[in-house]
Chains A and B, each alone.
Chain A
Amino acid sequence: MSAMILSSAILAAQILLVAAMGCAALRVLRGPRAQDRVLALDTLYVNGAMLLLVFGIRTGTTHYFEAALLISLLGFVATAALSKFLMRGEVIE
């Protein structure tokens, strides 16, 4: 019973998260300006980290946790660097 509840909830969560990543990817492709693309890329990173956490729950191992932590770290660094670039025209002055 609990296995059925968990597996169906995990499947539904994965489908919802993939749809969310699709929406963010659509905004990356379509976004009229550079800041829209950067915002959508940040959202895509966070959704990817959530999808990896759900994968970790599905497989029952904690290995996916490190990948999610790395993705959230890299997302922060990438968005900060891109914002700096949009502001100044270069990243390291």
Chain B
Amino acid sequence: MSEAAHASRKQYVGIFVALAVLTALEVGLVKLPGISKDPMVTGLVLLAITKAALVALFFMHLKWETKVMRWMVAIPLCTPVVYAFVLIADAISRRIPA
């Protein structure tokens, strides 16, 4: 039975509030008048990564796991992200004439 140290209930509620606020920020960013696409997409992706990291670290307790466990999860998860950036950037560059 894994009884490793976990977050307290107060921390859980704190993470919940942070996730709710970040979600509201995302919706607000999309509805912000006059914002151009590039900063909006960058902001949305950063907000989503922050939210996903909060869930993984605190709700899935990765923060309290060993380094080996954290790397075991982080490396395979980051690989498709890098792959996606390269392939999607390539697809966009083919669409836009030079």
A and B: bona fide binding partners: no
Binding site for A on B (CB under 8 A): none
